[in-house]
Structure 1
């Protein structure tokens, strides 16, 4: 019997939980073959906008649904988890014996230290990293800090999606990366937590986060849009053109269930 193919298009940061969901779903619905495809969330959204057919789309920023995908090809979405930005590194990275939440800016700006981030035009972790740098400049009272960090992290140190950064660190191609806490835990990386006022984790500081803005590529070629800092959230939806809507909704319900919440927590995310 041919199995029903269920395609999940998802943010790279959700790779591990989606693999867990896929295994769980296959055990419940053996007639379904779950297929996973990952990219930066903005890249995922643009792919769907271009007519690509997926049964589920799960993104690292619900704003992408509002900005690019509603009311078509997505009618509604569900927010299911939160996270925070941390600085990840491998044991033995240059400066890792000294780095902490107070001095990380000085460590990263050392000549011998390198750090990476994801692309703000493809991946929410990329523009959130730039927002963290802007907020850090104000939080620590260091004029020009954002520009210093941005100038040092040249194009050679910018990758398509946040999930790529773990492999970069494991290959010792850079010392540090700006990633989600869930990705750090999934890769088993050491990490430095940042103050809540800059790590985009706490709705209490949403007004403060809103002082950070980043310009990214817009909905149409050549256009630009300004993104405003907000607490980090992850969201998922069943597109209107999903080839297998019944099975897709079953998968979405698993994601939102108690079992799904347990899986998300075990993968380092904070569930609603």
Structure 2
């Protein structure tokens, strides 16, 4: 059952102030979305299709690691209407002031290991061996992580390794496993190697394993970044990217905004509001939506419903 606060936010985000379907938007019949790679399936195959069917506005998505998304915007290489991030803090740190002034958070997730059961790695996990022992014993390159310089999933893998080292008393574990892991530069391709048999496993979000029909071994809540009650523990670790951005551990929060430079801002706001109300679809596809949506910054009246 939805809390009163959630119902009130949903009502605000769905009410609007005269912003309707495509015929009322006045700035074209398409919206361009630049989004985190972990959202590719749910946006392309579910939310985007529903959005187009219900509004008549086509949704054109491109997907990369979130830090790569931010670089594309700030370097003026991509010009989307909507940006969707897998790290709310990263979007605010990189885009606020120059590119955006608000966002709406809409979901969370959990980190663990997606794996092929017919590998030695998978067999040991299914036999009940601790994942950290399996990862430590694996051949170099058997475990993949997303590139931590380009993607929050990558630096969350590093965060998880460091917290696991503390949690389980594993001296040198984090550095050894991170150094041995294959680093995938394209987040949407992270699980392709597991599917083809080139990799045994990958550190992934829960929804990504479901998207690809892979088994998922969740990390404990102490380092899966799903539980706000562990926020202080998550914040004990950090990772600094190759461009000097320091990402501190935090609960996973997805958020979306419309860029101030958007070519179709009305369609963009309509899409963000639609995404904020897509909680059932998001849950069905492996995301957590309890406590969402949440508005942050100077959210426009058309989105907030003020």
- Normalising by structure 2, what TM-score? 0.81
Partner residue in 1 for 2:300: none
Contact 1:57 1:238 (8 Å CA) reproduced:
yes
Contact 1:125 1:161 (8 Å CA) reproduced:
no
Cα deviation, 1:13-65, whole Å, max 9, x if unaligned, reads 001121112111111222x3221111110111111112332111101001112
- In structure 2, which of residues 226, 247, 254 is the aligned counterpart of residue 201 of structure 1? 226
Contact 1:65 1:74 (8 Å CA) reproduced:
no
Question: What is the distance in 2 between the residues matched to 1:44 and 1:171?
Answer: 27
Cα deviation, 1:82-134, whole Å, max 9, x if unaligned, reads 01111011220223222167611111222547100001111100000000000
Q: Tell me, what secondary structure is at the counterpart of 2:225?
A: coil
Q: Tell me, what secondary structure is at the counterpart of 1:197?
A: helix
**Deviation (angstroms), 1:72:** 1.8
The equivalences for 1:1-272 within 5 A come to 4-19=29-44, 20-30=46-56, 32-51=57-76, 52-99=78-125, 103-112=130-139, 114-153=142-181, 157-218=182-243, 224-257=244-277, 260-271=278-289, 272=292
- Normalising by structure 1, what TM-score? 0.91
Question: What is the distance in 2 between the residues matched to 1:267 and 1:162?
Answer: 18
Q: Tell me, what secondary structure is at the counterpart of 2:144?
A: strand
Contact 2:36 2:65 (8 Å CA) reproduced:
yes
Question: What is the distance in 2 between the residues matched to 1:270 and 1:111?
Answer: 31
**Deviation (angstroms), 1:227:** 1.6
Contact 1:162 1:179 (8 Å CA) reproduced:
no
Contact 1:21 1:255 (8 Å CA) reproduced:
yes
Deviates more, 1:96-105 or 1:229-238: 96-105
- Residue 111 and residue 9 in structure 1: after superposition, are their counterparts in 2 closer, same or farther (change >3 A)? closer
Question: What is the distance in 2 between the residues matched to 1:94 and 1:161?
Answer: 25
Contact 2:37 2:65 (8 Å CA) reproduced:
yes
Question: What is the distance in 1 between the residues matched to 2:267 and 2:80?
Answer: 12
Partner residue in 2 for 1:221: none
* Structure 1 runs, 4 residues or longer, greater than 3 Å off: none
Q: Tell me, what secondary structure is at the counterpart of 1:192?
A: strand
Question: What is the distance in 2 between the residues matched to 1:16 and 1:262?
Answer: 15
